[in-house]
Structure 1
């Protein structure tokens, strides 16, 4: 059924649910997973990065000095969760301009010939998200494969 799953994660709480759904599907089908995070120029917000840095400090880990190192850690951690569960997974950190995140996800799904894209709804985003196109909506409208949107 599924051979290649793209799991798109971000800083929202739904990323944990995205990984859980991806793990379940990959375990059932034997699919390989590519965990993708798209880092936009205006990303992350100060509260988001402070939360990640606080978590690292509590865990006794050294804090990264730039947002890309924190984003890389997020992707690596997500990939480790999947591989620990026996899923073949690799991580990918992409760069994008603001507003081009959906295009980056779609391009990566096409490039890897994904059978499924799994991503969160981002319904709990900040008010500024209301004025931009929702990533999940854009991906679901333009994807060439099925899309699972996790609430």
Structure 2
């Protein structure tokens, strides 16, 4: 069973003071993980690919500067960086469009018919608690296969 570690407030305060007192490291000594580096190198890598270099050749060129990664790592990091770029662009697009959105106009409420006392809505007749689902889109299961309700043996 794992043991929960606890320390005194004085120990945590001393650790905080020690971290605050650390000197600034030179920029060239900062560690950068592969995913962050791919975000900054993405234009150069795409440019090299446009020049006709394969990912393996790009990896060999990068390795000459001491960065030893595999082609699979490069491929994965580039794909992930591209996804993050698309997400950032989408998020930026959404926030720009949200600023330019038109003000909402309150719609008039539904009119009541003369049969409001005894009339039941379609969902009340079905007994589904007001849940409506479009008939054209089937529900999909865990693996993406459509699930049809078992209504034959009711």
Asked whether the two chains share a fold, i.e. TM above 0.5, the reply is: no
Which structure shows the bigger proportion of residues in strand conformation? Answer: 1
Structure scoring higher RCO (CA < 8 A, sep ≥ 6) equals 1
TM-score range, shorter chain: under 0.3
TM-score by length of 2: 0.20
| Structure-1-length-normalised TM-score | 0.20
Structure of greater Rg: 2
